[in-house]
Homo-oligomer: A and B are copies of this chain.
Amino acid sequence: MKVVIIGGGSSYTPEIIEGLILRQDEFPVDFITLVDIESGKEKLEIVGQLAKRMIEKAGVSIELSWTLDRREALDGADFVSTQIRVGGLKAREKDERIPLSHGLIGQETNGAGGIFKAFRTIPVLLDLAKDVSEICPDAWIINFTNPAGIVTEALLKHGVHKRVIGVCNIPYNMTQSAAEILKEDPNNVRIEFIGMNHFVFGSKVLVNGEDKLSKIIEALVNQSVDFSPANIVSSGWSETFLRAMNMLPNPYHQYYYQNESTLKKDLKAYQDNGTRAEQVQVIEEELFNEYKNPQLDIKPEALEKRGGAYYSDVACSLMSSIYNNSQNIMTVNTLNNGAIVDLAEDSVIEVNCLITKEGPVPLTVGRLPQQIKADILMMKAFEEQAIKASISGDYRDAYLAFVMNPLIKDEKKAKVILDELLNAHKEYLPQFDL
Protein backbone atom coordinates (compact mmCIF):
# COMPACT_ATOMS: atom_id res chain seq x y z
CA MET A 1 0.00 0.00 0.00
CA LYS A 2 1.18 3.47 -0.86
CA VAL A 3 0.32 6.87 0.60
CA VAL A 4 1.32 10.04 -1.24
CA ILE A 5 1.38 13.32 0.64
CA ILE A 6 0.95 16.38 -1.59
CA GLY A 7 2.48 19.32 0.23
CA GLY A 8 4.83 16.91 1.97
CA GLY A 9 7.13 19.75 3.04
CA SER A 10 4.43 21.09 5.35
CA SER A 11 5.18 21.43 9.04
CA TYR A 12 2.18 19.15 9.67
CA THR A 13 3.78 16.15 7.97
CA PRO A 14 5.38 14.68 11.13
CA GLU A 15 1.88 14.31 12.55
CA ILE A 16 0.64 12.27 9.62
CA ILE A 17 3.86 10.19 9.68
CA GLU A 18 3.26 9.49 13.34
CA GLY A 19 -0.34 8.56 12.63
CA LEU A 20 0.72 6.09 9.95
CA ILE A 21 3.40 4.58 12.17
CA LEU A 22 0.96 4.11 15.05
CA ARG A 23 -1.60 2.40 12.80
CA GLN A 24 0.89 0.11 11.10
CA ASP A 25 -0.84 -3.01 12.43
CA GLU A 26 -4.32 -2.24 11.18
CA PHE A 27 -3.23 -0.17 8.21
CA PRO A 28 0.06 -1.58 6.90
CA VAL A 29 1.51 1.13 4.65
CA ASP A 30 4.42 -0.01 2.50
CA PHE A 31 5.40 3.25 0.85
CA ILE A 32 5.06 6.90 1.72
CA THR A 33 6.06 9.54 -0.81
CA LEU A 34 6.23 13.21 0.13
CA VAL A 35 5.69 15.60 -2.80
CA ASP A 36 6.28 19.31 -2.93
CA ILE A 37 7.05 22.05 -5.42
CA GLU A 38 10.34 23.71 -6.29
CA SER A 39 9.92 26.57 -3.84
CA GLY A 40 9.29 24.10 -1.01
CA LYS A 41 12.35 21.99 -1.80
CA GLU A 42 14.31 22.91 1.28
CA LYS A 43 11.46 22.29 3.70
CA LEU A 44 10.69 19.02 1.94
CA GLU A 45 14.26 17.88 2.55
CA ILE A 46 14.07 18.78 6.25
CA VAL A 47 10.72 17.10 6.77
CA GLY A 48 11.79 14.09 4.71
CA GLN A 49 14.86 13.55 6.88
CA LEU A 50 12.83 13.90 10.07
CA ALA A 51 10.19 11.47 8.81
CA LYS A 52 12.92 9.01 7.92
CA ARG A 53 14.32 9.21 11.43
CA MET A 54 10.83 8.74 12.88
CA ILE A 55 10.23 5.61 10.82
CA GLU A 56 13.61 4.18 11.69
CA LYS A 57 13.09 4.87 15.36
CA ALA A 58 9.68 3.18 15.23
CA GLY A 59 11.18 0.15 13.57
CA VAL A 60 8.35 -0.23 11.06
CA SER A 61 8.92 -1.38 7.50
CA ILE A 62 7.71 1.69 5.63
CA GLU A 63 9.72 2.80 2.62
CA LEU A 64 9.86 6.59 2.57
CA SER A 65 10.83 8.87 -0.32
CA TRP A 66 10.43 12.51 -1.30
CA THR A 67 10.31 14.16 -4.69
CA LEU A 68 9.33 17.21 -6.72
CA ASP A 69 7.91 14.97 -9.47
CA ARG A 70 4.23 14.62 -8.65
CA ARG A 71 3.27 12.36 -11.52
CA GLU A 72 6.02 9.92 -10.72
CA ALA A 73 5.02 9.92 -7.06
CA LEU A 74 1.39 9.13 -7.86
CA ASP A 75 2.30 5.90 -9.61
CA GLY A 76 0.72 3.06 -7.63
CA ALA A 77 -0.79 5.30 -4.96
CA ASP A 78 -3.75 4.09 -2.89
CA PHE A 79 -4.26 7.28 -0.92
CA VAL A 80 -3.28 10.84 -1.80
CA SER A 81 -3.49 13.38 0.96
CA THR A 82 -3.44 17.08 0.10
CA GLN A 83 -2.21 19.73 2.47
CA ILE A 84 -1.06 22.53 0.24
CA ARG A 85 -1.01 26.29 0.65
CA VAL A 86 -0.81 28.00 -2.72
CA GLY A 87 1.32 31.13 -2.25
CA GLY A 88 2.37 30.07 1.22
CA LEU A 89 1.95 32.05 4.41
CA LYS A 90 2.79 35.23 2.49
CA ALA A 91 -0.49 34.82 0.62
CA ARG A 92 -2.36 34.08 3.82
CA GLU A 93 -1.00 37.24 5.29
CA LYS A 94 -2.71 39.22 2.50
CA ASP A 95 -5.97 37.31 2.92
CA GLU A 96 -6.00 38.42 6.53
CA ARG A 97 -4.61 41.92 6.25
CA ILE A 98 -6.51 43.35 3.31
CA PRO A 99 -10.07 42.74 4.57
CA LEU A 100 -9.08 43.80 8.10
CA SER A 101 -7.64 47.03 6.74
CA HIS A 102 -11.10 47.83 5.35
CA GLY A 103 -12.85 46.95 8.59
CA LEU A 104 -14.01 43.46 7.66
CA ILE A 105 -13.15 40.03 9.03
CA GLY A 106 -9.81 38.94 7.57
CA GLN A 107 -9.48 35.22 7.96
CA GLU A 108 -7.88 32.35 6.08
CA THR A 109 -11.04 30.30 5.47
CA ASN A 110 -13.97 32.68 5.98
CA GLY A 111 -15.03 35.89 4.27
CA ALA A 112 -12.91 37.54 1.59
CA GLY A 113 -9.72 35.75 2.66
CA GLY A 114 -11.33 32.34 2.48
CA ILE A 115 -12.73 33.12 -0.97
CA PHE A 116 -9.27 33.97 -2.25
CA LYS A 117 -7.77 30.86 -0.72
CA ALA A 118 -10.39 28.96 -2.73
CA PHE A 119 -9.55 30.96 -5.88
CA ARG A 120 -5.87 30.04 -5.57
CA THR A 121 -6.34 26.43 -4.51
CA ILE A 122 -9.14 25.01 -6.64
CA PRO A 123 -7.38 25.13 -10.03
CA VAL A 124 -4.26 23.51 -8.56
CA LEU A 125 -6.25 20.67 -6.99
CA LEU A 126 -8.37 20.14 -10.09
CA ASP A 127 -5.10 19.64 -11.89
CA LEU A 128 -3.93 17.16 -9.27
CA ALA A 129 -7.25 15.31 -9.57
CA LYS A 130 -6.65 14.96 -13.31
CA ASP A 131 -3.26 13.38 -12.66
CA VAL A 132 -4.69 11.04 -10.03
CA SER A 133 -7.51 9.97 -12.31
CA GLU A 134 -4.98 9.17 -15.01
CA ILE A 135 -2.14 7.61 -13.01
CA CYS A 136 -3.83 5.94 -10.01
CA PRO A 137 -7.58 5.95 -10.77
CA ASP A 138 -8.52 3.82 -7.76
CA ALA A 139 -6.78 6.07 -5.25
CA TRP A 140 -8.68 8.16 -2.71
CA ILE A 141 -7.84 11.84 -2.41
CA ILE A 142 -8.07 12.87 1.25
CA ASN A 143 -8.28 16.63 1.09
CA PHE A 144 -7.46 18.68 4.11
CA THR A 145 -6.61 21.82 2.23
CA ASN A 146 -8.80 24.75 3.28
CA PRO A 147 -11.44 25.94 2.70
CA ALA A 148 -11.93 22.17 2.83
CA GLY A 149 -15.66 22.11 2.13
CA ILE A 150 -15.54 24.47 -0.85
CA VAL A 151 -12.47 22.75 -2.29
CA THR A 152 -14.05 19.30 -1.92
CA GLU A 153 -17.27 20.45 -3.61
CA ALA A 154 -15.24 21.94 -6.45
CA LEU A 155 -13.37 18.65 -6.93
CA LEU A 156 -16.47 16.48 -6.74
CA LYS A 157 -18.55 18.68 -9.03
CA HIS A 158 -15.97 19.79 -11.54
CA GLY A 159 -13.09 17.34 -11.29
CA VAL A 160 -12.63 14.14 -13.26
CA HIS A 161 -11.70 12.10 -10.20
CA LYS A 162 -14.66 11.19 -7.99
CA ARG A 163 -12.89 9.49 -5.08
CA VAL A 164 -12.39 12.61 -3.00
CA ILE A 165 -13.16 13.11 0.68
CA GLY A 166 -12.70 16.32 2.63
CA VAL A 167 -11.65 16.34 6.25
CA CYS A 168 -11.52 18.95 8.98
CA ASN A 169 -10.53 18.76 12.62
CA ILE A 170 -13.47 20.77 13.94
CA PRO A 171 -15.86 17.81 14.34
CA TYR A 172 -13.04 15.85 15.95
CA ASN A 173 -12.22 18.67 18.36
CA MET A 174 -15.85 19.23 19.26
CA THR A 175 -16.29 15.54 19.99
CA GLN A 176 -13.17 15.51 22.17
CA SER A 177 -14.40 18.53 24.12
CA ALA A 178 -17.87 17.06 24.53
CA ALA A 179 -16.33 13.85 25.88
CA GLU A 180 -14.25 15.87 28.30
CA ILE A 181 -17.29 17.77 29.56
CA LEU A 182 -19.24 14.55 29.94
CA LYS A 183 -16.24 12.74 31.41
CA GLU A 184 -16.67 10.01 28.81
CA ASP A 185 -14.29 8.12 26.57
CA PRO A 186 -14.33 10.04 23.25
CA ASN A 187 -14.82 6.72 21.45
CA ASN A 188 -18.24 6.41 23.07
CA VAL A 189 -19.31 9.91 22.09
CA ARG A 190 -20.78 10.66 18.70
CA ILE A 191 -22.07 14.10 17.82
CA GLU A 192 -24.70 14.31 15.10
CA PHE A 193 -23.41 17.02 12.81
CA ILE A 194 -25.52 19.05 10.40
CA GLY A 195 -24.27 21.54 7.89
CA MET A 196 -21.11 22.15 6.05
CA ASN A 197 -17.44 22.66 6.75
CA HIS A 198 -16.78 25.59 9.09
CA PHE A 199 -20.52 26.13 9.35
CA VAL A 200 -21.45 22.87 10.99
CA PHE A 201 -23.68 22.51 14.03
CA GLY A 202 -23.99 19.64 16.49
CA SER A 203 -27.61 18.64 16.94
CA LYS A 204 -27.18 15.65 19.24
CA VAL A 205 -24.41 14.38 21.51
CA LEU A 206 -24.89 10.66 21.70
CA VAL A 207 -23.27 8.59 24.41
CA ASN A 208 -24.01 4.93 23.78
CA GLY A 209 -26.95 6.08 21.74
CA GLU A 210 -28.42 8.46 24.30
CA ASP A 211 -28.59 12.17 23.67
CA LYS A 212 -26.68 14.31 26.18
CA LEU A 213 -26.94 17.61 24.31
CA SER A 214 -28.75 19.32 27.16
CA LYS A 215 -25.95 18.43 29.57
CA ILE A 216 -23.38 20.02 27.25
CA ILE A 217 -25.48 23.14 26.85
CA GLU A 218 -25.81 23.36 30.59
CA ALA A 219 -22.04 23.10 30.92
CA LEU A 220 -21.47 25.77 28.27
CA VAL A 221 -23.94 28.09 29.96
CA ASN A 222 -22.47 27.62 33.41
CA GLN A 223 -18.78 27.34 32.83
CA SER A 224 -18.26 28.98 29.51
CA VAL A 225 -16.48 25.94 28.14
CA ASP A 226 -15.32 26.49 24.58
CA PHE A 227 -14.92 24.26 21.56
CA SER A 228 -11.98 25.98 19.97
CA PRO A 229 -9.10 24.95 17.80
CA ALA A 230 -5.86 26.67 18.76
CA ASN A 231 -6.17 29.56 16.33
CA ILE A 232 -9.82 30.45 16.91
CA VAL A 233 -10.79 31.39 20.40
CA SER A 234 -14.52 31.80 20.77
CA SER A 235 -15.51 34.50 23.21
CA GLY A 236 -18.36 32.61 24.80
CA TRP A 237 -21.96 32.29 23.77
CA SER A 238 -24.82 33.82 25.69
CA GLU A 239 -27.22 31.60 27.54
CA THR A 240 -30.11 32.87 25.46
CA PHE A 241 -28.37 31.95 22.23
CA LEU A 242 -27.36 28.48 23.37
CA ARG A 243 -30.78 27.61 24.72
CA ALA A 244 -32.70 29.01 21.76
CA MET A 245 -30.45 27.37 19.19
CA ASN A 246 -30.42 24.14 21.15
CA MET A 247 -27.47 23.05 19.03
CA LEU A 248 -23.70 23.27 19.39
CA PRO A 249 -22.17 26.08 17.36
CA ASN A 250 -18.60 25.68 16.14
CA PRO A 251 -15.88 28.29 16.82
CA TYR A 252 -16.15 29.81 13.33
CA HIS A 253 -19.73 30.84 14.06
CA GLN A 254 -18.44 33.77 16.08
CA TYR A 255 -17.65 35.52 12.77
CA TYR A 256 -21.36 35.44 11.97
CA TYR A 257 -23.25 35.68 15.25
CA GLN A 258 -20.73 37.85 17.12
CA ASN A 259 -19.45 39.75 14.14
CA GLU A 260 -18.98 43.17 15.73
CA SER A 261 -17.17 42.02 18.85
CA THR A 262 -15.07 39.46 16.99
CA LEU A 263 -14.05 42.05 14.44
CA LYS A 264 -13.12 44.46 17.21
CA LYS A 265 -11.04 41.76 18.91
CA ASP A 266 -9.38 40.73 15.63
CA LEU A 267 -8.61 44.32 14.71
CA LYS A 268 -6.98 44.88 18.06
CA ALA A 269 -4.94 41.70 17.74
CA TYR A 270 -3.92 42.79 14.26
CA GLN A 271 -2.82 46.20 15.46
CA ASP A 272 -0.96 44.72 18.42
CA ASN A 273 0.65 41.66 16.85
CA GLY A 274 0.05 41.75 13.11
CA THR A 275 -1.78 39.04 11.26
CA ARG A 276 -2.09 35.45 12.37
CA ALA A 277 -0.09 34.51 9.25
CA GLU A 278 2.83 36.53 10.51
CA GLN A 279 2.69 34.82 13.88
CA VAL A 280 2.47 31.44 12.21
CA GLN A 281 5.55 32.27 10.13
CA VAL A 282 7.51 32.69 13.34
CA ILE A 283 6.12 29.44 14.77
CA GLU A 284 6.94 27.62 11.54
CA GLU A 285 10.48 28.88 11.57
CA GLU A 286 10.94 27.60 15.09
CA LEU A 287 9.36 24.29 14.13
CA PHE A 288 11.67 23.82 11.17
CA ASN A 289 14.65 24.68 13.31
CA GLU A 290 13.59 21.94 15.64
CA TYR A 291 12.93 19.55 12.73
CA LYS A 292 16.50 20.03 11.53
CA ASN A 293 17.86 18.63 14.75
CA PRO A 294 19.33 15.23 13.72
CA GLN A 295 18.60 14.01 17.23
CA LEU A 296 14.87 14.51 16.81
CA ASP A 297 13.19 11.25 15.79
CA ILE A 298 9.63 11.70 17.04
CA LYS A 299 6.90 14.25 16.37
CA PRO A 300 7.88 17.34 18.40
CA GLU A 301 5.42 18.42 21.03
CA ALA A 302 5.46 21.99 19.79
CA LEU A 303 3.47 20.91 16.76
CA GLU A 304 0.39 20.36 18.83
CA LYS A 305 0.19 24.04 19.57
CA ARG A 306 -0.15 24.80 15.86
CA GLY A 307 -3.72 25.41 14.74
CA GLY A 308 -4.48 22.40 12.65
CA ALA A 309 -3.70 19.70 15.18
CA TYR A 310 -5.52 16.40 14.74
CA TYR A 311 -6.23 17.01 11.05
CA SER A 312 -3.73 14.33 10.19
CA ASP A 313 -5.01 12.00 12.84
CA VAL A 314 -8.47 12.24 11.34
CA ALA A 315 -6.99 11.62 7.91
CA CYS A 316 -5.11 8.51 9.07
CA SER A 317 -8.22 7.08 10.75
CA LEU A 318 -10.17 7.69 7.58
CA MET A 319 -7.63 5.94 5.35
CA SER A 320 -7.52 2.98 7.70
CA SER A 321 -11.34 2.75 7.84
CA ILE A 322 -11.57 2.71 4.06
CA TYR A 323 -8.80 0.16 3.74
CA ASN A 324 -10.45 -2.11 6.32
CA ASN A 325 -14.05 -1.48 5.20
CA SER A 326 -14.57 -0.70 8.90
CA GLN A 327 -18.14 0.56 8.58
CA ASN A 328 -17.55 2.92 11.48
CA ILE A 329 -19.05 6.41 11.68
CA MET A 330 -16.88 9.44 10.85
CA THR A 331 -17.71 13.05 10.09
CA VAL A 332 -16.36 13.98 6.68
CA ASN A 333 -17.08 16.25 3.73
CA THR A 334 -18.83 14.33 0.97
CA LEU A 335 -21.73 14.53 -1.48
CA ASN A 336 -25.06 15.19 0.22
CA ASN A 337 -26.96 12.60 -1.83
CA GLY A 338 -30.18 13.37 0.03
CA ALA A 339 -28.83 13.30 3.59
CA ILE A 340 -29.92 16.92 4.12
CA VAL A 341 -33.19 17.12 2.25
CA ASP A 342 -33.08 20.90 1.74
CA LEU A 343 -29.77 20.82 -0.15
CA ALA A 344 -28.98 19.61 -3.66
CA GLU A 345 -27.78 16.03 -4.05
CA ASP A 346 -24.44 17.21 -5.38
CA SER A 347 -23.74 19.69 -2.61
CA VAL A 348 -20.84 18.77 -0.37
CA ILE A 349 -21.83 18.66 3.28
CA GLU A 350 -20.07 17.81 6.55
CA VAL A 351 -22.05 14.99 8.06
CA ASN A 352 -21.75 11.63 9.77
CA CYS A 353 -21.01 8.85 7.33
CA LEU A 354 -20.55 5.12 7.36
CA ILE A 355 -17.01 4.59 6.12
CA THR A 356 -16.75 1.68 3.69
CA LYS A 357 -14.29 0.38 1.15
CA GLU A 358 -16.33 2.26 -1.46
CA GLY A 359 -16.04 5.50 0.48
CA PRO A 360 -18.29 7.40 2.87
CA VAL A 361 -22.06 6.83 2.83
CA PRO A 362 -23.91 9.66 4.59
CA LEU A 363 -26.49 8.86 7.22
CA THR A 364 -29.73 10.69 6.54
CA VAL A 365 -30.28 13.86 8.51
CA GLY A 366 -33.64 15.00 7.06
CA ARG A 367 -34.81 18.60 6.93
CA LEU A 368 -32.60 21.36 8.29
CA PRO A 369 -33.79 22.54 11.70
CA GLN A 370 -35.47 25.93 11.24
CA GLN A 371 -32.99 27.83 13.42
CA ILE A 372 -30.06 27.09 11.10
CA LYS A 373 -31.91 26.74 7.80
CA ALA A 374 -31.55 30.37 6.74
CA ASP A 375 -27.80 30.50 7.20
CA ILE A 376 -27.00 27.03 5.86
CA LEU A 377 -28.96 27.65 2.66
CA MET A 378 -27.36 31.05 2.24
CA MET A 379 -23.81 29.81 2.87
CA LYS A 380 -24.21 26.92 0.46
CA ALA A 381 -25.48 29.22 -2.31
CA PHE A 382 -22.54 31.52 -1.64
CA GLU A 383 -20.13 28.58 -1.84
CA GLU A 384 -21.55 27.57 -5.21
CA GLN A 385 -20.84 31.05 -6.48
CA ALA A 386 -17.31 31.05 -5.04
CA ILE A 387 -16.61 27.76 -6.83
CA LYS A 388 -18.05 29.12 -10.07
CA ALA A 389 -15.75 32.14 -9.85
CA SER A 390 -12.73 29.98 -8.94
CA ILE A 391 -13.13 28.14 -12.20
CA SER A 392 -14.44 30.81 -14.56
CA GLY A 393 -12.01 33.48 -13.46
CA ASP A 394 -14.75 35.94 -14.32
CA TYR A 395 -14.61 39.27 -12.51
CA ARG A 396 -18.38 39.51 -12.10
CA ASP A 397 -18.59 35.98 -10.74
CA ALA A 398 -15.96 36.86 -8.16
CA TYR A 399 -17.74 40.11 -7.29
CA LEU A 400 -21.03 38.26 -6.80
CA ALA A 401 -19.33 35.73 -4.51
CA PHE A 402 -18.23 38.73 -2.42
CA VAL A 403 -21.67 40.33 -2.36
CA MET A 404 -23.27 36.97 -1.48
CA ASN A 405 -20.92 36.45 1.45
CA PRO A 406 -22.50 37.71 4.69
CA LEU A 407 -19.12 38.89 6.00
CA ILE A 408 -18.74 41.26 3.02
CA LYS A 409 -22.15 41.96 1.46
CA ASP A 410 -21.64 45.73 1.01
CA GLU A 411 -21.85 46.37 -2.73
CA LYS A 412 -19.20 49.12 -2.72
CA LYS A 413 -16.73 47.72 -0.22
CA ALA A 414 -16.93 44.42 -2.08
CA LYS A 415 -15.39 46.02 -5.14
CA VAL A 416 -12.63 47.80 -3.28
CA ILE A 417 -11.48 44.70 -1.42
CA LEU A 418 -11.92 42.42 -4.40
CA ASP A 419 -9.76 44.68 -6.57
CA GLU A 420 -7.05 44.89 -3.94
CA LEU A 421 -6.96 41.13 -3.38
CA LEU A 422 -6.99 40.33 -7.09
CA ASN A 423 -4.03 42.60 -7.54
CA ALA A 424 -2.17 41.26 -4.50
CA HIS A 425 -2.59 37.62 -5.52
CA LYS A 426 -2.39 37.92 -9.26
CA GLU A 427 0.59 35.61 -9.64
CA TYR A 428 -1.50 32.72 -8.22
CA LEU A 429 -4.66 33.46 -10.17
CA PRO A 430 -3.94 32.45 -13.76
CA GLN A 431 -7.63 31.84 -14.42
CA PHE A 432 -8.38 35.55 -13.96
CA ASP A 433 -7.60 37.97 -16.75
CA LEU A 434 -5.56 40.44 -14.68
B-contact bits for A316-358, CB 8 A (1 contact / 0 none): 0000000001010100000011111100010000000010111
Given contacts A256-B409, A340-B338, A362-B364, contact A385 B374 (CB under 8 A): yes
Residues of B within 8 A of A244 (CB): 396, 399-400, 403
> In angstroms, how far is the closest chain B Cβ from the Cβ of A346?
10
Q: How far is the CA of A371 from the CA of B405 in the complex (A)?
A: 11
Residues of B within 8 A of A382 (CB): 374
* Candidate in A345, A365, A366 with the most chain B CB atoms within 10 angstroms: A366
B-contact bits for A381-404, CB 8 A (1 contact / 0 none): 110110010000000100110011
> In angstroms, how far is the closest chain B Cβ from the Cβ of A28?
16
Q: How far is the CA of A120 from the CA of B409 in the complex (A)?
A: 30
A338 partner, pick from B209, B341, B381, B399, beta carbons under 8 A = B341
Residues of B within 8 A of A337 (CB): 341, 364-366
Task: Assess the A381–B385 pair: CB atoms within 8 A.
Answer: no
Given contacts A209-B357, A404-B371, A412-B258, contact A363 B363 (CB under 8 A): yes
Given contacts A327-B329, A339-B364, A415-B240, contact A384 B399 (CB under 8 A): no
Residues of B within 8 A of A329 (CB): 327, 354
- Chain B residue with the shortest CB-CB distance to A370: B385
> In angstroms, how far is the closest chain B Cβ from the Cβ of A369?
10
Residues of B within 8 A of A377 (CB): 374, 377-378, 381
Q: How far is the CA of A339 from the CA of B351 in the complex (A)?
A: 14
A410 within 8 A of B: yes
Residues of B within 8 A of A160 (CB): none
Given contacts A210-B357, A325-B209, A338-B339, contact A374 B257 (CB under 8 A): no
> In angstroms, how far is the closest chain B Cβ from the Cβ of A31?
22
Q: How far is the CA of A358 from the CA of B365 in the complex (A)?
A: 13
A367 within 8 A of B: yes
Residues of B within 8 A of A354 (CB): 329, 354, 363
Can you list 24 A-B pairs with a CB-CB distance of less than 8 A? A206-B356, A206-B357, A210-B357, A244-B403, A257-B410, A259-B410, A260-B410, A337-B364, A337-B366, A338-B339, A338-B364, A338-B365, A345-B367, A354-B363, A361-B364, A362-B364, A363-B364, A370-B400, A374-B382, A374-B385, A374-B404, A375-B404, A406-B406, A406-B409
Residues of B within 8 A of A325 (CB): 208-209
Residues of B within 8 A of A415 (CB): 238, 240-241
A71 within 8 A of B: no
Residues of B within 8 A of A211 (CB): 358
Task: Assess the A411–B338 pair: CB atoms within 8 A.
Answer: no
Q: Which 10 A-B pairs give the minimum distances between C-beta atoms?
A: A209-B357, A209-B325, A374-B381, A378-B378, A377-B377, A338-B338, A241-B411, A244-B396, A373-B381, A338-B341
A245 within 8 A of B: yes
A426 within 8 A of B: no
Q: How far is the CA of A150 from the CA of B259 in the complex (A)?
A: 27
Q: How far is the CA of A259 from the CA of B325 in the complex (A)?
A: 40
Q: How far is the CA of A367 from the CA of B384 in the complex (A)?
A: 14
Residues of B within 8 A of A338 (CB): 338-341, 364-366
A237 within 8 A of B: yes
Q: How far is the CA of A39 from the CA of B49 in the complex (A)?
A: 80
Residues of B within 8 A of A240 (CB): 399, 411, 414-415
Q: How far is the CA of A377 from the CA of B237 in the complex (A)?
A: 26
Given contacts A354-B329, A400-B370, contact A259 B409 (CB under 8 A): yes
Task: Assess the A358–B209 pair: CB atoms within 8 A.
Answer: yes
* Candidate in A208, A338, A345 with the most chain B CB atoms within 10 angstroms: A338
Task: Assess the B364–A238 pair: CB atoms within 8 A.
Answer: no
Q: A209-B358, A361-B364 are in contact. List 9 more A-B contacts (CB 8 A).
A: A238-B412, A240-B411, A338-B341, A338-B366, A339-B364, A354-B354, A363-B363, A370-B388, A371-B404
